[in-house]
A and B are shown apart, each in its own frame.
Chain A
Amino acid sequence: MPDVAHTPVIGLEVHVQLLTRTKIFCGCVNRFNPDEPNTQTCPVCLGLPGALPVMNREAFRLSLITAAALECELARFTKWDRKQYYYPDLPKGYQISQYDLPFSEHGALEVTTESGESRRIRIRRVHLEEDAGKNLHDESGRGADSRVDLNRAGTPLLEIVTEPDVRSAAEAKSFLDELHLLLTYLCVSDCNMQEGSLRCDANVNLHLSTGAGDAIATPIVEVKNLNSFRGVEAAVEFEIARQLKEFHETGRKLGDPGVEKETRGWDAQRNVTFAQRGKEEASDYRYFPDPDLAPVTLTDEEIESIRAGLRELPAARRSRYRNDLGLSEYDADVIVRQGERFADYFEETSGICGDAKQAANWVTQDVLREINDRGVEIGDLPVSSQALGALIGRIVDGTITVKSGRELFGLMLDESERNDEHSPDTIDRLIEERGLRIVNDSGALESAIAAAIAASPRAVEDFQAGKQQAIGPLIGKVMRDVKGADAKAVRTLLIEKLKEA
C-alpha cells in the first residue's frame, strides 16, 4: 500500500451535570451520594406510573447561560422528547432528552493549542436532558445480580456536541480544558470528574489521502465513557494509530458495504480501546415529543438579557490582562486558569499596588506556590489581596527590596497562622519592626562601608588586585550592619570607595 497522509477528524460529546439544588423534573436533591443508595428518589425519578415531570427553572437557566457563553443561538421554542431504550438504570424505559428542537445550536469555543495556535471549535448543539441511575456490576465473575442505584437518575445533564473540528489528541484535551474552565467560571457545574459530573465521548476517524486527489476515510469509531481529560487524549491517540494500522491491513473504509459506525470502550488500565456490541439495534430510539412536558419559549428580550447578564469569560479576561494590564500571554493564561477567585485576587492585588506586572509575578510565583504547597484554595491563603497589594506597593515605591518583600510575605503567612489580621498598616508596622526600610541615609551607609573596609584589609587588597568576588564579604558585612540596605546600592558605593582608596 502506498504512503497515505492522514488527518484525524474528531468530534466530542461532553455531558455535564448541572449545579442545581434539585433534580431536573422533581424535588429530590441533586447530590452525589453513592454511600446511601436509593435515598434520593421519588415517584417521578423512579418512573412510577402516573408521576409527572415538571422542568426545573434553574436547570434551564444554567443551560441557557452555558449555551450563550458558547456563542450558541438560543431557540425561541424548544421541547423535550423521549429517547427509548431499555437499560436497568433507566427506570421509565426512556430518557427525556431533546431531539430535533434543542434549546441551542451553532456555537463555538476558541481554543489555544499547545503550540500556541488559536483554533475555533464549532459547537453543533447543546441540549438539556436527564441523567440515568448507576449500575454496579458484580466484579467477582460469579455472575451475581447487578445492583442499581437511582440517586443519580434525573440529575440535570447538559450534552454539548462539537462539530468534527478537532484535529489531534492534544487539541481534544485543550478543548476540554478550556470548556472545563468556562463551566467553572460560569458556576454551572462543579465539573468533578471523579464523581462523574463531566464525561466525554469522542468520535474519531481519519481522512486519508494518497496524493491522487482521492477522498477516503476510515470507519467512524465512537469511544464511550471517557472520564478524564488524559483518558480522552490517550484514547484518541490510540484510535488514530489503531485505525491507521487497520486501514493498512484491511483497506476497510467509510462507505464500504457492511461498514457501520463502531462503538468502542476505553480501558484506562491497559491504555487500549476495545470493541463493544454493535449499535444497530440500540440506535433505534424512536424519539417522540414527551407529552408530559410543556415546550418552553423564549422572547427576544429574554435572550438578550441572558447574553447581557453573562459574566466575564476566561477568554475575555485573558485578553484584558494582555491588552489593558500589559501582561504576557503566558502570565495572563496562568492566572486565568487558576479560576475566577484567583484571578480576582490578582486583580485586587494589582489594583492596590498599581503595578500589574509585579502583581502577576507575585501571584504566579509566590502565591501559587504557597497555595499548592498548602493544598488550599486562594480564599484560604492567610495573606489577603489587600495585604499583598500593600506589600508589593512598598516594593514598587522603593521603600523595601524584593528580598525584604519575600521575607515579609513569609512573616505574614506565619503570623496569620496565629490568626492575625493584615491591613496595609500591618505592612508598614512590620517594615519598621524588622528594620527593612531601604536605607537611603548615605551617612549611615558610608560609615558602615568605612567600617567594613577598615575591618577587612585582606579583602580590600584582594579586590584591588583584581579579585572581583572579594567584594562579597564586604557587602555582607554592610548589609548586616545596616538592615534594609539595598545590596545594589551598597555594591556601587563600595566599589567607588575601594577605587578611591
Chain B
Amino acid sequence: MAEQLSTDDVRKVAHLARLKLSDQDVERFTGQLADILRYVEQLKEVDTDAVEPLVHAVELTNVLRDDVPRASLPRDAALSNAPAADGAYFLVPPILENA
C-alpha cells in the first residue's frame, strides 16, 4: 500500500456503503483510515515466501445441513423490525427501475 489514501477513495467507499458523509467527515475518515492501513501494512514485514496463500479464515470444512424444513417466522414478526411495512410487504422508498 505504497500509494496514499485519498479523499476520493473515501468518498467512493462511502458511496458504495450508501453512507452520507460531510466534507468534514471525509477529511477525518481519510486520516483515520490511512492510519489503520499503515498499521495493517506492518504485516508486510513478515516473510511469507514459503507460505501457501490463505483462501479462507475458517479451518473447518464441509459443514452442511440436511434439506429439512423448519418453521419460518410469522409474517408480523418478520416485518416487525422494518422501518416501514404495509402488513404484507416491506416498504422502501421508490426504486427507479431502469432509470
Contacts and interface: CB of A to CB of B under 8 A. Distances in A.
Interface of A: 20-22, 26-29, 36-43, 46, 48, 54-60, 77, 79, 84-86, 88, 100-101, 135-138, 143-150, 265, 274, 276-277, 281, 284, 286, 289, 291, 293-297
A137 B78 CA distance: 21
B90 A289 contact: no
A28 B70 contact: yes
9 contacts: A21-B67, A27-B65, A27-B70, A28-B69, A60-B64, A88-B95, A137-B95, A143-B94, A265-B98
A289 B78 contact: no
A291 B98 contact: no
B40 interface: no
A276 to B, nearest CB: 5
Contact of A147 (B56, B65, B91, B98): B91
Given A27-B71, A39-B72, A54-B63, 11 more contacts: A38-B79, A41-B73, A46-B73, A56-B65, A57-B67, A58-B66, A79-B56, A265-B98, A289-B56, A289-B57, A295-B55
B68 interface: yes
Interface residues of B, number: 40
Contacts of A43: 73
Interface stretch (B26-34, B42-50, B80-88): B80-88
Contacts of A86: 16-18
B99 interface: yes
Nearest to A263: B98
A289 to B, nearest CB: 5
Nearest to A133: B90
Contact of B64 (A84, A137, A150, A296): A296
Contacts of A28: 69-70, 72
Nearest to A275: B98
B88 A148 contact: no
A293 B65 CA distance: 12
Contacts of A138: 94
B67 A56 contact: yes
Contacts of A29: 69, 72
Contact of B99 (A20, A85, A277): A277
Given A79-B55, A101-B55, A291-B57, A42 B89 contact: no
A57 B64 contact: yes
B61 interface: yes
B93 to A, nearest CB: 6
A145 B84 contact: yes
Contacts of B70: 22, 26-28, 42
Given A21-B67, A146-B93, A284-B16, A38 B75 contact: yes
Contacts of B94: 137-138, 143-146
Contacts of A143: 94
Nearest to A135: B95
Contacts of A79: 55-56
B67 A22 contact: yes
A163 to B, nearest CB: 25
Contacts of B91: 145-148
Contact of A54 (B64, B73, B92, B98): B64
B89 A148 contact: yes
A245 to B, nearest CB: 22
B92 A145 contact: yes
B38 interface: no
Contact of A38 (B67, B68, B90, B95): B90
Contacts of B22: none
B90 A150 contact: yes
A339 B66 CA distance: 29
Contacts of B1: none
A225 B54 CA distance: 36
Nearest to B85: A38
B68 A295 contact: no
Contacts of A20: 67
B51 interface: no
Interface string B10-40: 0010011110000000000000000000000
Given A54-B64, A146-B95, A148-B90, A286 B16 contact: yes
- Report which residue of B15, B55, B65 has the largest number of chain A beta carbons within 10 angstroms of its beta carbon: B65
Contacts of A57: 64-67
B1 to A, nearest CB: 16
Contacts of A146: 91-95
- Report which residue of B18, B58, B79, B81 has the largest number of chain A beta carbons within 10 angstroms of its beta carbon: B58
- Report which residue of B15, B66, B69, B75 has the largest number of chain A beta carbons within 10 angstroms of its beta carbon: B69
Contacts of A100: 55
A41 B78 contact: yes
Given A21-B68, A55-B64, A294-B61, A38 B78 contact: yes
A84 B57 CA distance: 18
A150 B88 CA distance: 11
A430 B83 CA distance: 72
A320 to B, nearest CB: 32
B97 A137 contact: yes
Nearest to B15: A281
Nearest to A80: B56
- Report which residue of A20, A41, A43, A54 has the largest number of chain B beta carbons within 10 angstroms of its beta carbon: A41
